[in-house]
Structure 1
Amino acid sequence: MIDSILDKMTLEEQVSLLSGADFWTTVAVERLGVPKIKVTDGPNGARGAGSLVAGVKATCFPVAIALGASWNPDLVKQMGVALARQAKSKGAAVLLAPTVNIHRSGLNGRNFECYSEDPMLTAELAVAYIEGVQGEGIAATIKHFAGNESEIERQTMSSDIDERTLREIYLPPFEQAVRRAGVMAVMSSYNRLNGTYTSEHHWLLTKVLREEWGFDGIVMSDWFGSHSTAETINAGLDLEMPGPARDRGEKLVAAVREGKVEAATVRTAARRMLRLLERVGAFKSKPDLTERAIDLPEDRALIRRLGAEGAVLLKNDGILPLAKPSLDRIAVIGPNADSARVMGGGSAQIAAHYTVSPLEGIRAALSNANSISHAVGCRHNRLIDVFKGKIAVEYFKGRGCKGDPLHIETVDKGEFFWFELPSEELDPADFSARMKMHFTPEESGEHAFGMTNAGLARLFVDGRLTVDGREGWTRGENYFGTANDEQRGAVPLEAGRSYEITVEYEPSMASEEGINLIAVRFGVEKPLGEADIESAVETARNAEVALLFVGRDGEWDTEGLDLPDMRLPGRQKELIEKVAAANPNTIVVLQTGGPIEMPWLGKVRAVLQMWYPGQELGNAVADVLFGDAEPGGRLSQTFPKALTDNSAITGDPAVYPGQDGHVRYAEGVFVGYRHHDTRAVGPLFPFGFGLSYTRFRWSEPQLSATEMSSEGVTVRVDLTNIGDRPGSELVQLYVSSPRAKVERPNKELRAFAKLSLQPGETGTATLKITPRDLAYFDIETGAFLAESGTYQLIVAANATDVRSIIDLPSPSNYLLPTSY
């Protein structure tokens, strides 16, 4: 059928398939019955075509690092199935997920959106995720291919990575997604790889992806991430996104006419696009692009379970789990206590059906809600608190908010990120909007107003210009680098008095790099000070237990910028230390998208890392704190003692964050625990670490063979739960190699198994390795090489907790081509 359609297509029609129609859909060719299909952002929810911050409600699942900490591919596959169902509810046939870039520095703004520092763990989870999604007829899109481990100058930066490091660390998750999961789509990254944009990198997109790995799906650009016509199509980029066409369309037709692109190359790319439509069933029934909100009880239960499964208990001197009946006075404190920090920022954002804050979850879990006291203590927000309340919005044709409004609507949040305007008569490049609202402060005193805008905007309080986002506008770090840094103004306000706030907005005339976004965000807050910290301390002093909810949020952990350091922002360190001094029973609950430094660790009794676990956050954290669920997580990323212990943080800006448009991956394969182990840099918490509420007995490992063969070797370890509670244990199998021609890490993860056992129950962890698991990438031969010699199989509970070491002879050399 596909060839028949292609034979009837003109060159122009074939070319039309190779660019989006708009931000989220492909081009239809109605003459030949070729429908359009919709794509939607993941990876922790299916948003649909709406705004990043509004639109049709969607189910919010845990972020990827929380899934990585679960070490549970089966549960991740179930989430993939649920996400496919959510994608269908948004009329989408393609989910733009999973993200499988590696945790290199710990400062990547999208660290939360990636699974792990280890390629093997990342690959296992990605394969499970893709199988879940695609098993339901929705295409998954693995991203970002490749070398996108930082958000700094991401649209132009060259990630300079040697081939061995690429093959061993950064490419395996993509390779396994192709070979094992049959992923239908790959998204190229923004950055350059060794000097060439990945969207026009022939070696990456054609030689490696298609010829070596056998990929037969489509390659799409990241949004506005393609920069040429002939170069991209000749390299193997099929789909330019978003639409309408920028470097395709008439330019590509002309390139064919001029002989810069073969007509057969266009036909091949068009065939791949048609094959994608066929695979998602678009030819069998015309896709319904209608968007609906479905909030299912089974999804709620899965999210709650995933939240506990990925929760990592980092410290516990016996205070956890808390016994509900014995708690008369409990203090719930911190900037994340009464706010539901359920997701990171950027394109992963969705408008969740609902969110449950930790304070709400704890109140629901305890029968005596009066025993709970609450204090904020301090703030950690990077941006002023967004305005929440009734906002009347008027849209006008042209600039300056002149004449009668073309459209009027009412919203409840002071953040607008328009992919589509509310009327087709409004031109995204030539419109204006006026937002009006009223604010009545609860306390008198100076209040801070803040605004950031991709476009031009001004904020007035009772008619007085308070924040100017127009004069002197310059690009900053917000909205993927298309908006200014937040501008602020201070105004003294009286408690109980109503103030009128007006914001006037219009788009910019032009933007750099072809990225045109229209967005504005504004808010107001009364700054917190010393009295608020002292109030939190007093609240803690009068309680039996102090629960401190600290960390970051989606303003810090976000696409578009990296973190400045690994410290808790704001005055949170001070808050922790003062609360711990006032109450010896202090428990810290962390929400971050990656590692942080913990100078206060010795002053608290327990630390629980909850990440951003989706809309059931409060219920999941209450489940773990009160022992209704096991803290099932184990770290998928090493937590260093200090930022400078990370292998990418050398003090050389060329290594991180980059210099003169290049970032050099000088650490090579020594990423994460590979660095800490081999260079003897002790971590704060090692890769794979996590405590349980129960205890396990490990048997000695049993091997299926006494030496390596082409069939591989299976290792079995019996575990028995010798505690009085159900729980889970993680068995990790590392390989340590004999001396080789190149320096190799002390050990590398090659298999794992997670067992959930009832008290007294015994289970068997089964782990298999093959010659490829012994190998490194040999530059001279261009293949994976496992040299003969005696290897060590290291059975461990985490990267520093080794339980058994077994010698495994490998009598033969194994040379494994990349295209085997």
Structure 2
Amino acid sequence: MKHQALIQRLTLAEKATLMAGKSVWETRDFPEKGIPSIFLSDGPHGIRKQEGEGDHLGLNASVPATCFPTAATLANSWNPDLLEEVGQALGTEASSLGVHMVLGPGLNIKRNPLCGRNFEYYSEDSYQAGKLAAAMIRGLQSQGVAATPKHFAANSQELRRMASDSIVDERTLREIYLTGFEIAVKEGQPKALMSAYNKINGTYANEDRRLLRDILRDEWGFDGIVVSDWGGSNDHALGVENGSHLEMPGTVFVGQKEIIDAVADGRLSEAILDERVDELLTVVLDLAAQEKRIVDYELQHEIAHRAAAESIVLLKNEDHILPLDSQKTVAIIGEFAQNPRYQGAGSSLINPKKLDLTLDHLSDYNLNVLGFAQGYQRVDKEDDVLLQEAVDVAREAETILYYMGLDEISESEGMDRSHLSLPQNQLKLLEALKALGKDIVVVLSAGSVVDLSWDTEVKGLVHAYLSGEAGALAILDVLTGKTNPSGKLSETYPLDLSDVPSSYEFPASGDYALYREGLYVGYRYFDTTATPVKYPFGYGLSYTTFVYSNLILTDLGAELTVTNTGQLAGAEVVQLYVGKHSRAIFGPSKELKGFKKVYLEPGQSIQVQFTFDDYTFRYFNTITDSFEIEGGVYQIAIGASVADIRLSGEVMRSGTTEQLPDYSQLSSYQSGQVNLVSDVEFSNLLGRTIPKESWKVGQELRINDPVLKLQYAKNGLARLVYKILSWLLGRAEKKGKPDLNLLFIYNMPFRAIAKMTGGMIDHPMVEGILTMINGHFFRGSRQVWKAFLQKNQYKKDLDA
């Protein structure tokens, strides 16, 4: 151990105390023994430091900070160098604010477009997500702060996110849901990692030894610390035993007692506890010793601007309507033009240091603007007066520039979406504008996939995603041609939600989330089954054109030439996909295995090289319990998107094992037609029986059931609490602003009460409360009172 002498000076109580936070955002310190405290802060796309009362979910204000584009936006840049630069900016700002550990980046896979937190995640592809996250981590940590990639792992929905069990087969888990983390850990070397709330195949992620020790530490070489998501620790002692370090937020002496009791009764070895303390101290002492950086907020804003501009995706440009003709009159329509939707909601909500507004800067651009009209209310509510005002303004212009998108209540941490449609009042206005017979260009703001069936009614479509505090001017740069758009989609836009295989059971409303689709997530499904889509993975237009030529394939990699054949300088994202036509191991028709963004002047050519790496040809073999290569011929495809392949060829690879899994009973997975996989076939894929829902209406509620089940409680007061909670959530929805703290309570399991009340309530008290909820009021009251007295006595003994 690195800190054996220091650990020997600590008592068991002190070591146990180090395993939980001191407060919502700080770790425990012992200054007299040379152990400092470090400060943790949310920060996937900005530093959300709360200096007053902390709440983790954005209820209380945070100090002003730079709001960069969200992960879903940055991913569309396909530029690791850009993400590393944004990471450096984030790290500098964190350091200047006294933040030692930034809780991000988020790199969960976008299994389904309805997930309410997709705006915080990079991609539906694990390779792309891992490469971008690794770059962000390197940037952050270059400034002396720790990155904390999250949420590890298979965390794919917000409903019941703290009380859900992800049932996923081993091969899918390793290839889809862990590969991004693997790349991020190996190439980014983060000092910390956040475990997910959910279970994975029956075991809480924060207690999963195979996940946290065998894979993360022993296989990938991770040498940092694992921090629980806030309230995400189930059995704290078991978590510490199996590789988790820091239980957050501060559980004061409640978490400490769990560790001490576990050591006393032999459930946790003190030697194991010493290992975790040593690992924790290595990170804490290093971070606390770093000097504060000085931040230049003008430079931060400039970086945010460039990041937004490079991440904007041009989806449609009929008749070359863009860049806008400065000679034609323009009407600007839409609430989002005056009050932009530029970030998500929840624990990533940033208080922007500076916010650019479209209407404030129109004079800076060569645009012939006739006027502006709000057009619609931000909340989805019809307003015929606003609609008519917009139509009247638009009628006088030659081109209509219509700003639209998802409002805050549509996508948020703590809740999943129920559909892909934009707000109906915005769509109604679009129909009214179309009736004018004018050219329409839409500027879309949304953090995730939306239904774009209406794009046949417009000539131009610019998707800005959630572009941060400088996004408004970045959008104007693209619209006027100051910036040539180079963003490409990092997720597939389906024609219909029903085309997405996981949608039949998403979000899972019971105990189990069944990952029936297996490997076929996103483009892997659509491309394999030749299912038509609206816009494919990797798609994005430019104001110039690129030609691919001269593909050369060797055993080591691929090389090709890209030429800018247009009249403008621009950037192209060259994508490498690998497939295998003849195979014993089923899989997608092709998968992303490389990408490079290149910048070219008009007429310029450049050589692009890809080196085959450890991820290029591998699959996870459940017989050998390791990654292997199937021998044979592989197809190498180079393209501008997964559906726009420009060059292709073949290479040969030798196999690494003759022990192959038997997939003869998996016809759906062999064909990729996984939209209606039977229980029998999914069981065959899992290698075990599918778990069945064990709770039914009328049964007593359990310690790990979510609070939302209070609606079925036997205690009338408990049911009343549910009704009040539902009413408050409904009121927040009508206002158009999600109440994250209420959503957190709604989805959290009862046991989390002991983790989120700062020591006021412990686990035995929660068990008593649950007894009351289940209709045994007096017995439960006695339990609570007895547990309360014991807890207070323990605290008195501790203080003495």
Task: State the TM-score bracket (shorter-chain normalisation).
Answer: 0.7 to 0.9
Distance 1:696 1:772, change over 3 A: closer
Structure-1 residue corresponding to 2:625: 782
Deviation at 1:352, TM superposition (A): 0.5
Structure-2 residue corresponding to 1:228: 235
Structure-2 residue corresponding to 1:202: 209
The counterpart of 1:118, out of the listed 125, 131, 136, is 125
Corresponding letter in the other structure for 1:351: N
- 2:643 is the alignment partner of 1:800: yes
User: Which whole-Å CA distance do the structure 2 matches of 1:87 and 1:324 have between them?
Assistant: 42
Corresponding letter in the other structure for 1:730: V
Structure-2 residue corresponding to 1:571: 425
The counterpart of 1:154, out of the listed 138, 153, 161, is 161
User: Which whole-Å CA distance do the structure 1 matches of 2:401 and 2:516 have between them?
Assistant: 41
User: Which whole-Å CA distance do the structure 1 matches of 2:324 and 2:515 have between them?
Assistant: 48
Distance 1:30 1:756, change over 3 A: same
Corresponding letter in the other structure for 2:32: R
Deviation at 1:541, TM superposition (A): 1.5
Structure-2 residue corresponding to 1:270: 277
Structure-2 residue corresponding to 1:315: 316
1:249 match: secondary structure: helix
1:666 match: secondary structure: coil
Corresponding letter in the other structure for 1:375: A
Corresponding letter in the other structure for 2:608: A
Instruction: Report if aligned partners of 2:574, 2:639 keep a CA contact under 8 Å in 1.
Output: yes
Deviation at 1:770, TM superposition (A): 3.2
Deviation at 1:268, TM superposition (A): 0.8
Corresponding letter in the other structure for 1:47: R
Deviation at 1:365, TM superposition (A): 2.2
The counterpart of 1:145, out of the listed 132, 152, 173, is 152
User: Which whole-Å CA distance do the structure 1 matches of 2:527 and 2:415 have between them?
Assistant: 29
Q: What does the per-residue CA deviation read over 1:429-470, in whole Å, with 9 as the maximum and x for residues that have no partner?
A: xxxxxxxxxxxxxxxxxxxxxxxxxxxxxxxxxxxxxxxxxx
The counterpart of 1:377, out of the listed 372, 375, 378, is 375
- 2:244 is the alignment partner of 1:237: yes
Q: What does the per-residue CA deviation read over 1:279-330, in whole Å, with 9 as the maximum and x for residues that have no partner?
A: 32x2477x89xxx9x5622111111111111100000013443346414x31
User: Which whole-Å CA distance do the structure 2 matches of 1:736 and 1:246 have between them?
Assistant: 54
Distance 1:296 1:808, change over 3 A: same
User: Which whole-Å CA distance do the structure 2 matches of 1:130 and 1:55 have between them?
Assistant: 23
Corresponding letter in the other structure for 1:42: G
> How many pairs are equivalent?
653
Instruction: Report if aligned partners of 1:380, 1:570 keep a CA contact under 8 Å in 2.
Output: no
Structure-2 residue corresponding to 1:38: 39
Instruction: Report if aligned partners of 1:340, 1:355 keep a CA contact under 8 Å in 2.
Output: no
Q: What does the per-residue CA deviation read over 1:711-745, in whole Å, with 9 as the maximum and x for residues that have no partner?
A: xx221111111111111111111001243333210
- 2:3 is the alignment partner of 1:2: yes
1:657 match: secondary structure: coil
Deviation at 1:236, TM superposition (A): 1.2
Deviation at 1:556, TM superposition (A): 2.0
User: Which whole-Å CA distance do the structure 1 matches of 2:258 and 2:196 have between them?
Assistant: 23
Instruction: Report if aligned partners of 1:794, 1:802 keep a CA contact under 8 Å in 2.
Output: yes
Instruction: Report if aligned partners of 1:586, 1:606 keep a CA contact under 8 Å in 2.
Output: yes
Instruction: Report if aligned partners of 1:775, 1:787 keep a CA contact under 8 Å in 2.
Output: yes
Instruction: Report if aligned partners of 1:80, 1:133 keep a CA contact under 8 Å in 2.
Output: yes
User: Which whole-Å CA distance do the structure 1 matches of 2:458 and 2:253 have between them?
Assistant: 56
Distance 1:223 1:721, change over 3 A: same
Q: What does the per-residue CA deviation read over 1:655-711, in whole Å, with 9 as the maximum and x for residues that have no partner?
A: x221431110100000000000112211100000000000112112112x2xx4xxx
Deviation at 1:354, TM superposition (A): 2.2
Instruction: Report if aligned partners of 2:87, 2:136 keep a CA contact under 8 Å in 1.
Output: yes
Structure-2 residue corresponding to 1:683: 533
User: Which whole-Å CA distance do the structure 2 matches of 1:540 and 1:263 have between them?
Assistant: 72
Structure-2 residue corresponding to 1:462: none
2:45 match: secondary structure: coil
Distance 1:649 1:323, change over 3 A: closer
Instruction: Report if aligned partners of 1:56, 1:351 keep a CA contact under 8 Å in 2.
Output: yes
Instruction: Report if aligned partners of 2:624, 2:659 keep a CA contact under 8 Å in 1.
Output: no
Q: What does the per-residue CA deviation read over 1:97-126, in whole Å, with 9 as the maximum and x for residues that have no partner?
A: 000000111011110100000001001100
The counterpart of 2:99, out of the listed 88, 92, 110, is 92
Instruction: Report if aligned partners of 1:359, 1:618 keep a CA contact under 8 Å in 2.
Output: no
User: Which whole-Å CA distance do the structure 2 matches of 1:583 and 1:375 have between them?
Assistant: 18
Corresponding letter in the other structure for 2:230: W
1:773 match: secondary structure: coil
Deviation at 1:277, TM superposition (A): 1.6
Structure-1 residue corresponding to 2:592: 749
User: Which whole-Å CA distance do the structure 2 matches of 1:245 and 1:737 have between them?
Assistant: 55
User: Which whole-Å CA distance do the structure 1 matches of 2:387 and 2:220 have between them?
Assistant: 57
Deviates more, 1:63-72 or 1:570-579: 570-579
Instruction: Report if aligned partners of 2:548, 2:647 keep a CA contact under 8 Å in 1.
Output: no
- 2:649 is the alignment partner of 1:642: no
Q: What does the per-residue CA deviation read over 1:602-640, in whole Å, with 9 as the maximum and x for residues that have no partner?
A: 111010100111101211110000000111100000000
2:206 match: secondary structure: helix
Instruction: Report if aligned partners of 2:366, 2:480 keep a CA contact under 8 Å in 1.
Output: no
Give the alignment of 1:497-646 within 5 angstroms: 528-646=382-500
The counterpart of 2:573, out of the listed 730, 742, 747, is 730
Instruction: Report if aligned partners of 1:547, 1:586 keep a CA contact under 8 Å in 2.
Output: yes
Give the alignment of 1:450-465 within 5 angstroms: none
Distance 1:323 1:214, change over 3 A: closer
Deviates more, 1:117-126 or 1:237-246: 237-246
Instruction: Report if aligned partners of 1:772, 1:786 keep a CA contact under 8 Å in 2.
Output: no
Q: Which runs of 5+ in 1 are unaligned?
A: 383-526
Instruction: Report if aligned partners of 1:788, 1:813 keep a CA contact under 8 Å in 2.
Output: yes
TM-score (norm 2): 0.79
The counterpart of 2:544, out of the listed 694, 705, 710, is 694
User: Which whole-Å CA distance do the structure 2 matches of 1:772 and 1:70 have between them?
Assistant: 22
Give the alignment of 1:326-341 within 5 angstroms: 326-327=327-328, 329-341=329-341
- 2:189 is the alignment partner of 1:182: yes
1:595 match: secondary structure: coil
Task: Kindly report the root-mean-square deviation, in angstroms, between the aligned alpha carbons of the 2 structures.
Answer: 2.0
The counterpart of 2:138, out of the listed 131, 134, 138, is 131
Instruction: Report if aligned partners of 2:593, 2:615 keep a CA contact under 8 Å in 1.
Output: no
1:67 match: secondary structure: helix
Instruction: Report if aligned partners of 1:65, 1:116 keep a CA contact under 8 Å in 2.
Output: yes
Deviation at 1:380, TM superposition (A): 4.2
Deviation at 1:586, TM superposition (A): 0.3
Corresponding letter in the other structure for 2:511: G
Structure-1 residue corresponding to 2:86: 79
Instruction: Report if aligned partners of 1:27, 1:36 keep a CA contact under 8 Å in 2.
Output: yes
Structure-1 residue corresponding to 2:730: none
Corresponding letter in the other structure for 1:657: P
Structure-2 residue corresponding to 1:258: 265
Give me the identity figure in percent. 36
User: Which whole-Å CA distance do the structure 1 matches of 2:157 and 2:455 have between them?
Assistant: 28
User: Which whole-Å CA distance do the structure 2 matches of 1:701 and 1:734 have between them?
Assistant: 14
Distance 1:221 1:574, change over 3 A: same
Q: Which runs of 5+ in 2 are unaligned?
A: 661-800
Deviation at 1:49, TM superposition (A): 2.3
Structure-2 residue corresponding to 1:302: 303
1:648 match: secondary structure: helix
User: Which whole-Å CA distance do the structure 2 matches of 1:664 and 1:528 have between them?
Assistant: 38
Relative to its length, the structure with more strand (as a share) is: 1
Instruction: Report if aligned partners of 2:193, 2:225 keep a CA contact under 8 Å in 1.
Output: yes
1:578 match: secondary structure: helix
User: Which whole-Å CA distance do the structure 2 matches of 1:557 and 1:381 have between them?
Assistant: 13
User: Which whole-Å CA distance do the structure 2 matches of 1:782 and 1:738 have between them?
Assistant: 24
User: Which whole-Å CA distance do the structure 2 matches of 1:21 and 1:90 have between them?
Assistant: 19
Give the alignment of 1:767-778 within 5 angstroms: 767-770=610-613, 772-778=615-621
Q: What does the per-residue CA deviation read over 1:399-420, in whole Å, with 9 as the maximum and x for residues that have no partner?
A: xxxxxxxxxxxxxxxxxxxxxx
User: Which whole-Å CA distance do the structure 1 matches of 2:7 and 2:74 have between them?
Assistant: 42
Distance 1:284 1:552, change over 3 A: closer
Instruction: Report if aligned partners of 1:775, 1:785 keep a CA contact under 8 Å in 2.
Output: yes
Deviation at 1:815, TM superposition (A): 8.8
User: Which whole-Å CA distance do the structure 1 matches of 2:647 and 2:19 have between them?
Assistant: 54
Q: What does the per-residue CA deviation read over 1:150-209, in whole Å, with 9 as the maximum and x for residues that have no partner?
A: 101101011111110011001011111221211111101111111221111122112211
Corresponding letter in the other structure for 1:793: I
